[in-house]
Amino acid sequence: MKFTATVGVAGYGAYVPAFRIKGEEISRVWGDAAPVREKSVPGPDEDSLTMAYEAAREALEMAGVRPEEVGAVLVGSESPPYAVKPSATVVAEALGVTPRVVAADLEFACRAGTTAMILVAGLVASGAIRHGLAIGADNAQARPGDELDYTAGAGAAAFLLSGDRSRLLAVLEHAYSFVTDTPDFWRREGESFPRHAHRFTGEPAYFRHVVSAARGLMEEAGLKPSDFDYVVFHQPNVRFPLRAAQLLGFREEQVKLGLLAGEIGNTYAAASLIGLARVLDHAKPGQRILVVSFGSGAGSDAISLVTTEVVGSRKSSLERLLARRAYVDYALYAKQKALLRVA
Amino acid sequence: MVWVESAPRAWREGTRRYRLIGGKCPSCGGLVYPHRQVCPYCGREGLEAVALPRRGRVVTYAVVRNPPRGFEGREPYVIAVVELEGGARVLAQLTDVRPEDVRVGMEVEAVFRRYREQSPSGVIEYGVKFRPAI
Amino acid sequence: MAGRVYIVGAGATKVGEHWDRSLRELAVEALLSAVKDAGIDKRDVEALYVGNMMSGMLQGQEHLGALVATWAGIPGAAACKIEAACGSGGVAVHQAYLAVASGLYDCVAVVGVEKMTDALPSDASAALATAEDQEYVVFTGATFVSLNALLYRLYLDRYGVKQEKVAAFPVHCHKMAVNNPYAQFRRAVTLEEVMASPLVADPLRLLECAPIGDGAAALILCSERYLKRNPRDELVEVAGTAVATDVLSAHERRDPLAVAALRRAVEAATRRAGVEVADIDVLEVHDAFSILGVLSLEARGEGWRLVEEGQLEPGGKIPTNTMGGLKARGHPVGATGVYQVFDLVVQLRGEAGANQVEGAELGMAQNFGGVASTVAVNVLRRAR
Ligand SMILES: [Zn+2]
């Protein structure tokens, strides 16, 4: 996909909760080796919606756009606080962008954030709206002791997309989506925790979709791995994105900056977008970035961006959020994730 | 559980709670949170609605160890009087901080958080809390 | 010009956990005891004011006026509930005074009653918190205790006072209650025990907080005209009464430690009584929490000194809470303001036994609703 009119990132925000649990602490309780050094843990008063708001407010402030000028708010998440009742309305109301706004929730496991970006970019590029917010946010749930319990994190990232060229920190060049019906991970209605198909989540799911979307974009756009300064993959752990990079012919240096899974775990719909925020915080003008998400079920979005001369003039609070770390043990983790029944 | 579950009540207060909308008195200059019809200090009617600053300092605080309905399972948590830049005082929870690390005078900033559920299947109420400034 | 109003009868139940008695039974017991004390025919009671805060929440029972009148055998009386949170009792006394002073009624009863042990502590706590703004204070998870803790920390911080100085207040109250047969806790406590008790809402500790309890107290008020027809020896006059309010939530007040409503009510009540504060011989303050007791003594960071110097004891400069106060006599919330007046009546009649303040002529009861958001002050004078 190519956008026919200019659309890009005028502001962005990232959010990571204050709390962390070390992989070794989870191993102490459940006995397996942890695939990440530590992961983020939400406070007891946080959910995907509150994190979405924090990231979105930062994006709005960075862009210098007035709330009433925002024409769309799409919240991508697989962990909305309500089964039925949109998170987007609360986020929009709190931001002050209601009521004249296209607002909705998107669900596509860990992919919904980038899909929100493509949809908002389409609205902006078509001229239907001037600015729009695309948000990926999750407070990932995992059955205690499950493989996912070692990595399921919490975080959010938001991108204020705009057609005003002078405001843009990065311009969206191309997008490519690759979607199939692949049941690698799911959660049925009324269930508290998702289920997954173990090794089936790897080759036929993550790798097939990530690699296909990235190759598809590069073929369509006439680009090759060396044309990119940075690449950010969906990161359920540290190993998968490094392996995907290898399969596609990217060097480790291109991946490292946007790879945060070892520190914050898998933040699901926010994962690749927090990585992108990290890269934008450090990128220089004229650099090209590839973002490839993955959502179980399954699908990947690949998006390429080129930074403008003003990138870096405004930065997110991500580094400060990453630096603030309060460690919890598994008992506090269980309390904060509401895994303990008290009422 | 709150005393009486009520979606309209949560809805009605939503904007003032979400966006820290206070009232500024055109007569005495008093700043109050939340916005209301009449100035409690001088009786002037028609307060101007203003979005209050999001940073301030802790004036005093207390640690809640025996929570009321709706807050079961959250204890211990901290409530504080925060004086915002400009002088409005807000009573709110502090978050992302251990009770023993809170200090009078501490600089804090507004965040958007979950306050309570009206019941396990009821409306979730959100609002502004304050965290140590980062 | 208002007519004179006398208290001719006073009665109460012991404060405590009355598992076997209901709210209405407690109210009736206190009322009948006051009627008996007055030596009148209960059918003389023309109006009944029931001070109560939480019956609607803890018993699901409102309409206490008709309920208590019925169970006390005086249906037909003009009866209603008076609610001003923890100040309900003091305000009920104020309203009863007005009813007689206006000349409309000659004989009026006041009953303060609260039945707290029917509910779980968490529900009683939630009910107490209804004294505050539900949408912007209780919404935050603040409990009534924690709101007082906010004041407490502000006081300690502003005046650089050590907590032990304030925490000495309950020690005084417990000492007084030992000799009060109506008290919930007839047991002395040490400062060490207070400071070692669990934190309830830091910095407030358990033994700095008035307990949860049940109880009822009642008074019979009458006019001079009625008194002439039914003379009695031991007489107490309601010399002055006032109710004042402050900005509901303490954090919104210009100075949260100023206790402005107390100053206003004390000023008005003493003016109406034609007395000075310095003339008061025996004082009842609203020590629901240690900090409120100290703040009531005066608000410039010095109130604790009176406690330390023993000035609150009978024989001291200002004998205060001589029957144990809210802390040790007990604090059945909506009944408290009536208990305070009951305790003053006992003192002014010279019936306080070991705790008697010799020659007590003037008493003052200060009853708070909320964090001193409503203050009822009743000034009593021994009458001859
Ligand atoms: Zn004013």
Instruction: Work out the angle at residue A243's Cα, subtended by the Cα atoms of residues A241 and A245, and round it to the nearest 5 degrees.
Output: 70
In the residue annotation, A234 being an active-site residue is answered as yes
Assigned CATH topology for domain B54-134: OB fold (Dihydrolipoamide Acetyltransferase, E2P) (2.40.50)
pLDDT of residue C278: 93
pLDDT at C310 > cutoff 60: yes
Interface of A with B (CB under 8 A): 17-18, 43-47, 49-50, 53-54, 57, 81-82, 90, 93-94, 96, 317, 320-321, 324, 326, 335, 338, 340, 342-343
- Are C205 and C284 in a shared domain? yes
Please report, for chain B, the start and end positions of each structural domain, with discontinuous segments joined by +.
1-52, 54-134
Instruction: Specify if A2 maps to a domain.
Output: no
Protein residues within 5 Å, CB atom, of ion ligand 1: B 25, 27-28, 30, 39, 41-42, 44
Over the stretch A175-195, which tens digit does the pLDDT of each residue have? 999 999 999 999 999 999 999
- Are A164 and A174 in a shared domain? no
Mean pLDDT for chain A? 97
pLDDT at B1 > cutoff 90: no
**Adjacency order of strands within the sheet including B31-32:** B31-32, B21-24, B48-51
With tokens 């939480």, the residue in question is: C54
Q: How many domains would you assign to chain A?
A: 2
Angle between helices A271-282 and A112-125 (to 10 degrees): 60
Concatenated DSSP letters for B45-111? B-PEEEEPPSEEEEEEEEEESS--TT-TT--SEEEEEEEETTS-EEEEEE-SS-GGG--TT-EEEEE
Query: Looking at this protein, which amino acid is placed at residue B64?
Result: V
Over the stretch C96-120, which tens digit does the pLDDT of each residue have? 999 999 999 999 999 999 999 999 9
Instruction: Identify the three-state secondary structure at position A297.
Output: strand
Instruction: Specify if C383 maps to a domain.
Output: no
- Are A193 and A300 in a shared domain? yes
Average pLDDT rounded to a whole number, residues A111-127: 98
- Are C271 and C143 in a shared domain? yes
Q: How many domains would you assign to chain C?
A: 2
pLDDT of residue C299: 56
Over the stretch A271-318, which tens digit does the pLDDT of each residue have? 999 999 999 999 999 999 999 999 999 999 999 999 999 999 999 999
- Are C261 and C181 in a shared domain? yes
pLDDT at A167 > cutoff 70: yes
| A16: its two tokens | 């990571």
Residues whose CB falls within 8 Å of the CB of residue B65, separated by 6 or more in sequence, listed in order? B75, B76, C198, C199, C200, C201, C202
Instruction: Tell me the residue range of the domain where C281 lies.
Output: 131-209+241-378
pLDDT confidence of C303, banded at 50, 70, 90?
confident
- Are A235 and A191 in a shared domain? yes
- Are A75 and A222 in a shared domain? no
Q: How far is A338 from chain B (nearest CA, A)?
A: 9
Instruction: Tell me the residue range of the domain where A103 lies.
Output: 8-169+314-335
- Are A149 and A222 in a shared domain? no
Between CA A115 and CA A58 the distance in angstroms is: 20
> Closest by alpha carbon to C207, among C218, C217, C199, C215?
C199
All residues of chain A having their beta carbon less than 8 Å from the beta carbon of residue B73 are: 44, 335, 338, 340, 342-343
The count of other CB atoms within 10 Å of the CB of residue C358 is: 10
Instruction: Specify if A255 maps to a domain.
Output: yes
- Are C234 and C255 in a shared domain? no
- Are C191 and C340 in a shared domain? yes
Omega before residue A298 within 30° of 0, cis: yes
All residues of chain B having their beta carbon less than 8 Å from the beta carbon of residue A342 are: 72-73
Backbone angles phi, psi at C290, to 5 degrees: -50, -40
Concatenated DSSP letters for A92-108? HHHHT--SSSEEEEE-B
| A141: its two tokens | 């749930």
Average pLDDT rounded to a whole number, residues A77-95: 97
Q: Which of A110, A131, A174, A196 is catalytic?
A: A110
- Are A86 and A175 in a shared domain? no
Query: Could you tell me if B126 lies within 8 Å of chain C, comparing CB atoms?
Result: no
Instruction: Identify the three-state secondary structure at position C175.
Output: helix
Which domain CATH number covers C86?
A: 3.40.47.10
CA A233, distance to chain mean position in Å, is 10
Instruction: Specify if A342 maps to a domain.
Output: no
pLDDT at A19 > cutoff 80: yes
**ipTM > 0.85 for the complex:** yes
pLDDT at C1 > cutoff 80: no
pLDDT confidence of C298, banded at 50, 70, 90?
confident
Instruction: Specify if A227 maps to a domain.
Output: yes
- Are C302 and C367 in a shared domain? yes
Mean pLDDT for chain C? 96
Instruction: Specify if C125 maps to a domain.
Output: no
Over the stretch B64-80, which tens digit does the pLDDT of each residue have? 999 988 898 899 999 99
Q: Are B30 and B41 in contact (CB under 8 A)?
A: yes
Which domain CATH number covers A142?
A: 3.40.47.10
Instruction: Work out the angle at residue C253's Cα, subtended by the Cα atoms of residues C251 and C256, and round it to the nearest 5 degrees.
Output: 65
pLDDT of residue C2: 75
pLDDT of residue C300: 61
Nearest CA in chain B to C204: B62
Instruction: Identify the three-state secondary structure at position C366.
Output: strand
- Are C136 and C103 in a shared domain? no
For a pLDDT cut of 90, what percent of chain B falls above it? 91
- Are A195 and A226 in a shared domain? yes
Concatenated DSSP letters for A1-13? -B-SS--EEEEEE
Label residues C135-167 b or e (16+ Cβ within 10 Å = b): ebbbbbbbbbbbbbbbbbbbbbeebebebebbb
All residues of chain B having their beta carbon less than 8 Å from the beta carbon of residue C141 are: 64, 67-68, 70-71, 74, 77, 79, 93, 115-116
- Are C324 and C246 in a shared domain? yes
Average pLDDT rounded to a whole number, residues A231-257: 98
- Are C62 and C195 in a shared domain? no
- Are C172 and C108 in a shared domain? no
- Are C229 and C279 in a shared domain? no
Instruction: Specify if A258 maps to a domain.
Output: yes
Instruction: Specify if C112 maps to a domain.
Output: yes
CA distances from A245 to A109, A202, A282 (A): 22, 14, 20
* Long-range interactions of A319-324: CB distance < 8 A, separation 24+: A319/A281, A320/B134, A321/A14, A321/A15, A321/A16, A321/B134, A322/A16, A322/A260, A322/A263, A322/A264, A324/A18, A324/B96, A324/B134
